[in-house]
Structure 1
């Protein structure tokens, strides 16, 4: 199965081509500032370099969040359009699960996170099951203050036979003092592990159940500021993302 995967969830743009679980090619633009302008050219480069047409792709995969609100919409919309027009499968993958899948350690709690500022993180914790190739979420993806996150990590660690915790993603190094106070052996991810890789998204999507392209939406994990402002202004209850966008 040929899988074209992409991540526009963070400032790093990533596109990959997988053949089943094998990563054939991956292209990354680090610290990219305009995903809407760069995503299609990267996809085109990968296809041309491997003599493929877009119609020959069997499945599309995309990081659905958390991440940049604008970035997520670009990637999710692109994958949805490709799948709908070509009548192909599409799979949405958690950005945090993709980060966690860069770590192969056993008996390790993998905390994947994205700095959300003011000591808050989009984060979740995962473990690798023995003989499994998909990290299992054990602390749900969410929007956490660092104190709440570390409390959840400590609780899970204490209740399970684990050796250490590894933190992957962005912004954890500045919390080193708070992390040390948990008295749990830990390490930080490498530069490569701290970036979302589309090739790993493709691997996660291989055996996942396809999504309905019409129902696939970004998973922001918190309200956008525009939604909050709209709610304050109108007093109306929060609506599904699609309804909100239509009304605005």
Structure 2
């Protein structure tokens, strides 16, 4: 099975082609912040470099969230369009699971993206026989809550943080843990399309029309809508005002 995987969830743009669990090629671009302009040309180039076309792809995979609201929409819209037009399979992959997949060291993995003000998009994982397993579901956590959950599942295992640099929180994490049994992962702190492809291999395909970003917290539009109307939060369609 040939898989074209992509991530626009962070400032790191990544596209990869794999066949089953073997990587064919990967292209990466960091900190350009214009994924909308670069994603399609990058896809075209990686296909051309490997003498492939979109029709040769069996499954499209994309980082479904969490991440940048705008970034997620770019990647998901592109993957949905390809899947729908070409009638090919579509898979959404957790951004945090993809980060965890890249870690090779032994330990309990805290995959996280800094959401500011000591808040994180995070999930806690462990790798067993090369397979990533979720121990604490992806969510939006304050640092105190995240470390509390990590202590509950880590026991004596070393905690490995992957994603955003946690150096500025090092002393606070040490105090909350009650020890220094944690580390920052090395060289794998960007979301990689090749890891999305690996996770997508055994994932369940979904209807392109039903795929939506997993933001893991309310968008500003939702918060404004709730404040304006006083209504309870509902389906996405409720936040579109008719004109």
Instruction: Provide the secondary structure at the position in 2 that maps to 1:226.
Output: helix
Structure 2 CA distance, aligned partners of 1:236 and 1:210? 34
Q: Is 1:234 aligned to 2:234, yes or no?
A: no
Tell me the residue number matched to 1:136.
Answer: 133
Structure 1 CA distance, aligned partners of 2:217 and 2:154? 26
Q: 5+ unaligned residues in a row in structure 1: which ranges?
A: none
Deviates more, 1:67-76 or 1:177-186: 177-186
Misfit runs of 4+, over 3 Å: 245-248
**TM-score calculated relative to the size of structure 1:** 0.93
Deviates more, 1:169-178 or 1:86-95: 169-178
Structure 1 CA distance, aligned partners of 2:28 and 2:237? 30
Count of residues paired in the alignment: 241
Tell me the residue number matched to 2:90.
Answer: 90
Structure 2 CA distance, aligned partners of 1:65 and 1:247? 28
1:241 Cα offset (Å)? 2.3
Q: Is 1:116 aligned to 2:111, yes or no?
A: no
Q: 5+ unaligned residues in a row in structure 2: which ranges?
A: none
Tell me the residue number matched to 1:34.
Answer: 34
Q: Is 1:60 aligned to 2:54, yes or no?
A: no
Structure 2 CA distance, aligned partners of 1:64 and 1:114? 14
**TM-score calculated relative to the size of structure 2:** 0.95
1:31 Cα offset (Å)? 0.5
Instruction: Provide the secondary structure at the position in 2 that maps to 1:135.
Output: strand
Structure 1 CA distance, aligned partners of 2:242 and 2:170? 43
CA RMSD for the aligned pairs?
A: 1.4
Tell me the residue number matched to 2:181.
Answer: 185
| 1:86-235 superposed matches below 5 A | 86-106=86-106, 108-129=107-128, 131=129, 133-158=130-155, 162-181=156-175, 182=177, 183-190=179-186, 192-235=187-230
1:244 Cα offset (Å)? 2.7
Instruction: Provide the secondary structure at the position in 2 that maps to 1:128.
Output: strand
